[in-house]
Structure 1
């Protein structure tokens, strides 16, 4: 396998998750995840590009792994300054290409989801009101790509779960994984993109596909996994980290189900089963702002996953409510994904 030069620009404390990583592939004229909006990130970016030997006017392609502002915020500005093509997966492209209109649709969708998860109206209002616009253009040109297409000679790999259109890029022996696999924490599923109806199942399928294709199993054609570059932090051990993330979701699913009453038992409010919001409070404690959105979404994703696999039961709608199922939950995160079965 050929080698591709990848240089990293770190945006120190650029987001609540820690420093963002911008990747520069000078030989391809490619910049991936330019970073958040604002003058300080722009200065960090342009200084880093000069140090990497790829000045702005030599950039041909700006690729963004997903629509979140800490990755996409400065991308339209960079693409315009370089007269370069701006690329996202087709499922995420509209949220940058038509930012202003899509933001309003997103806020409406988020509010509906939050209420369906049982989040109180006052908390929903706080979340929506606190979601301030990013200093991005209302609209800008974006090229939408799909799985398997070429992006500056790199292969687009659709990796949904954290967002519906999350994109990884394979450039020879380098895999730029965005927030699909992170080195020190697990990417949020559920609250990070409320378009997904089965966020956790979608995300676990993505992890399975990454392991199958890039896991470095000795029996595979490619014995060594590619170097993996995440959206936060410098590098990640792809197979080992995926195993850890699977274990985390196994434990989180167990915890979510353990917070449910048995069938026929009412909760403190007299209703048959708690909402995802109530379970989120049990799992994470008091939450506000973006943490309330992410926590509610995380609990909702794990409860829906448990219900879809027969280990929890939905007993209400608008808002959703859950109880334990009548079979015993046994989760083995093993080395090849979550497996469910009766004891």
Structure 2
């Protein structure tokens, strides 16, 4: 295996110059950088990350704590976080909590500076007293509790307003919501956006049109949709708090011979890959997941490098992907 000395000898520069190039420092003369890069390629040199991290007092790992990897949003986000972490030479350890308080507390208990350098967390049940963490951390998404930890996410209220306003613009007046949940902070915010959009359009808020979901799976969406269709006056549109709920709702509507979107318009949330290939394809709120992943990892890196860095809230963009579940093409 080639060493820094081998590269330096071939390039005709000092070992320090080679180290500066390998570590990405910018103050290397262009000619020296070119010679070092050519020598790196010729020798096949690979840095010893374990030794480097040991010298830095780091492990080379971060934790990613997510509710449920079977939900496509979190699976897609995990892949993007892994890619972003590689840019900082971090490996990612993934913990799945199922969104329960015991599961999330167990995940936090496993965090320690001897195992990971930092953590990215997407909690659903943690309480304010749980956030005395031994390593730097960044939260994903918006939460009802206020904690002194940096956060990255989208504006769930405004994203939900956009989804419901789209349905209203299509002439829909009896709009239901699927996904209310007593412990999910994002659910409360999406419900707030739903109510705000109805109010601004002069439409009444009807509690019976808000159907809770214990989980955010397809079966939960199907069950909620059946309950809505059993009403004497069923809705003409539905805003679902994630794409799996929406896909389950579309399935249930089809089984009752309710045509989507002619009889019933449906909007989801998350823009999972499946939403573009469902039949009909699903209109959905699309968070910029790549932006979320990169912002979270970059912010985490800044906290690791500068432990006294002040708390930051970073808001990433979203868009509404209009597809066949609301507009006939």
Pair in the same fold by TM > 0.5:
no
TM superposition score normalised by structure 2 = 0.27
TM superposition score normalised by structure 1 = 0.26
Q: Which of the two has greater helix per residue? A: 2
